[in-house]
Chain A
Amino acid sequence: MDKLLVSPSPHLHTKTSTKSLMRDVVIALMPAVIVSFLFYGWSSMLLMAVSIASCLLVELFITRFLLKKPSTIADCSALVTGILLALNLPTATPWWVVFIGSVVAIGVAKMTFGGLGQNLFNPALVGRVFLLISFPTYMTNWTRPQGFIGGGLDALTGATPLGKVKELMSMDGATLTSIPEYMDLNYCDMLFYNIGGSAGEISAIALLLGFAYLLIRGVIKPHITLSIIMTVAVFSGIFWLIDPAQFTDPLFNILTGGLLLGAIFMATDYVTSPMSKTGGIVFGIGIGVITMLIRYFGAYPEGVSFAILIMNSVVPLLNKWFHTKKYGRA
């Protein structure tokens, strides 16, 4: 004891670090990643590899060569963005499109704002929406699963259930009962696999497993996710009860598209979601309502990404309006 350390209290510190939290998110994403590998095979593995590698490279390049600062890729946040971006893309997306998405996600949405913790919008979603607007053909080129399991179908391009519904319902006089893609859906199967869609949207169960892991490890709290899902259920439930021939049912809306992926992994992103519980619930309601407005009345078949990004922009306001409950100031 030649030299004793002296510092202000507290003298103990939790073992949880930014890195360990990010690692937990990666672990929670594993079921969805594995399912996408199994169903889509090599194409989804390639997609994942390109997305992760380019996200890490872009962050490394910007920190080391443009900012001339120590690299920050060790905090694993770019890794999470890479995985999430891949899970949000169709598996047939060409590698260079994925790379552009990574540049936008990390370079524009994250590093321009000052890096980890400073970005206003969810980086992976900015990347995805940029690609959706810039390369609509690639981004709606849904390959039927042709992986190691899933029926060994030939590579066929087809629309997602949401896309099909949107496409056919836009015709005059159409009703949902005339759409076999909607009528024949078996929700029990959809829990396990959901044909057509982004790499991460196949299996609701895989995503829910990840959700359970995040909750058990205390990485996130359930209020945002539940608020989104319940809002979607209530909103679509009301419309469906009014006219089931025109409006898709609540379970369909929860299980299809990117709703669970978005509600569990994208909307709960620490940086781009509100700090207080009340703020989080309002944030979730906003996402749910905007998603359903786009799905029912918008031009796009799917609206989760847009809804989250729109609500991201409201977060500073929500943080200003809603604060924690203080002791003795009720």
Chain B
Amino acid sequence: MMKTFSIGGIHPNDNKISKDCKIEVLPVPSKVFISVAQHLGAPATPVVKPGDQVKVGQVIAEPAGFISAYVHSSVSGTVKSVGPRQDLAGNNMTHIEIDVDGDEWVEGVDLTDTLVTAIPEDNKAILEKIKMCGVVGLGGATFPAHVKLCPPPGKVAECLILNGAECEPYLTSDNRIMLEKSKEIVVGAAIMKQVLGGCKTVIGIEENKPEAIKAMSAAVAELQKVGKSYEGISVMALKKKYPQGGEKQLIDAVMGRQVKSMGLPIDVGAVVQNVATSLAVYEAVQKNIPLITNVLTVTGNCLPMDKQHNYKFRIGMPLSYIAEYAGGVPEQAAKIISGGPMMGKAIANLDATTVKGSSSLLYLTAEQTVRGEESPCIRCGRCADACPMGLEPFLLQKYARHNMMDELEENAVQDCIECGCCLYSCPANIPLLDVIRIAKGDVIRIIRTRK
């Protein structure tokens, strides 16, 4: 029997329309705007000023704290301005505007396709490289990768889980890199495994990506012939269920363990990294390439097959540039989402630019996405059945609407992962997550203040 997580979950239509569209490389635009906040934690501090000449891969912003990350220029050219600009979430954030001139890379970068399988021995140097290359988790949270790879003293990593679940409907970028960069991902996994002390490594992939499962298994088998570094890596097919790619759910599915409330995966011996992060680690460590590119899916049911794309993009590209290159925004599009339809952000316009964690440009029609009118709760319990954290959203939303903070905390609102299963499954169209999300923020603030 295929494994999956034990509590809740939903089965929306996966709509992997673009799963067979090969990755295409987007040409470099004439101008990019690179945000200094492309990661979880403190925004990086710009180290360039208008007029500076930059090359591709040059550091343009440095981490401003322990949980922060380097940001590199994705183009070569002249810095035009450093100033506020709206990011994907609609917040004003410092962006570095660069006028593109040519495509000149920094020294020491290996841009060839040659697979480098020999892994450096010095773990400290590897971690330093991952940090210097600005690698962050590309599964959604964009948590700095090197931090996750250094378990706090006393904690031991027993299992590195590579997240290839790609449980969000529509998204296919992970599927594509698993098909086209299988070996690179496995090398990246082996690097992280070595850093973590040689723990067992499991690559979890949902059953709706049979080609990816095959490709990754083949890559693992082939690399295991190369050397000892690749022992103990395996591929695990998982039953399709959203939100399998949630860190806590994936640990439950793969290891059968559950992370305690407010705890970290490492508490149960787990480290989870996305397959795209693994690819970024490979490029950083083996090729000296900083994280300035990623793959994003342009998709939607209202797009014809020939306008479905998986693009390799550079950070800082305006979304409008990508949309235009892909053939324009379809007329029926009522909502554009950056990310998956379950957890992604609806964007107000295409002025924002790509970041390290960008995963899609998804067009939804009004019919698909407009919520029905809210009606009374009929206490059907579907939200509680769907919640992968085992919470009772119907109860939480009631407490939330009455600002009952003690009751909210008692009923674990702080454990909510904002996956959207509750709101998705509510037959009465009650804005469960909208209300719970706000209450969760308040309760977490209260808990932090108490500490």
**Which residues of A approach B to under 8 Å, CB–CB?**
1, 4-14, 16-18, 20-21, 75, 77, 115-118, 270-271, 275-276, 323-330
Contact = CB atoms under 8 A, between A and B. Distances in A.
B153 interface: no
A8 B434 contact: yes
A12 B415 contact: no
B370 interface: yes
Interface string B363-377: 010101111100111
B263 interface: yes
Shortest Cβ-Cβ A-B pairs, 6 listed: A10-B420, A326-B390, A117-B376, A328-B258, A5-B335, A270-B380
Is chain A's binding surface mostly helix, strand, loop or mixed?
loop
A237 to B, nearest CB: 31
Is chain B's binding surface mostly helix, strand, loop or mixed?
loop
Nearest to B249: A327
B346 A6 contact: yes
B260 A328 contact: yes
B229 interface: no
B388 A327 contact: yes
Interface stretch (B40-48, B154-162, B337-345): B337-345
13 contacts: A1-B331, A1-B333, A4-B349, A9-B342, A9-B433, A10-B433, A14-B426, A16-B425, A21-B380, A115-B376, A117-B379, A328-B258, A328-B260
A17 B375 CA distance: 10
A330 B259 CA distance: 10
A74 to B, nearest CB: 10
Contact of A275 (B258, B379, B420, B427): B379
A74 B7 CA distance: 34
A12 B387 CA distance: 16
B169 interface: yes
B346 A12 contact: no
A275 B394 CA distance: 10
Task: Choose among B263, B342, B366, B390 the residue with the greatest number of A CB atoms under 10 Å from its CB.
Answer: B390
A14 B392 contact: no
A116 to B, nearest CB: 5
Contacts of B411: 323
B347 interface: yes
Contact of A5 (B346, B378, B421): B346
A12 B428 CA distance: 14
B335 A4 contact: yes
B391 interface: yes
Nearest to A279: B381
B248 interface: yes
A327 B258 contact: yes
B428 to A, nearest CB: 5
A158 B424 CA distance: 52
Contacts of B335: 4-7, 11
Contacts of B90: 6
B112 interface: no
Contacts of B394: 275
B346 to A, nearest CB: 5
A328 B263 contact: yes
B389 interface: yes
B348 interface: yes
Contacts of A328: 248, 258-261, 263, 389, 415
A7 B341 CA distance: 11
Task: Choose among A276, A323, A325, A328 the residue with the greatest number of B CB atoms under 10 Å from its CB.
Answer: A328
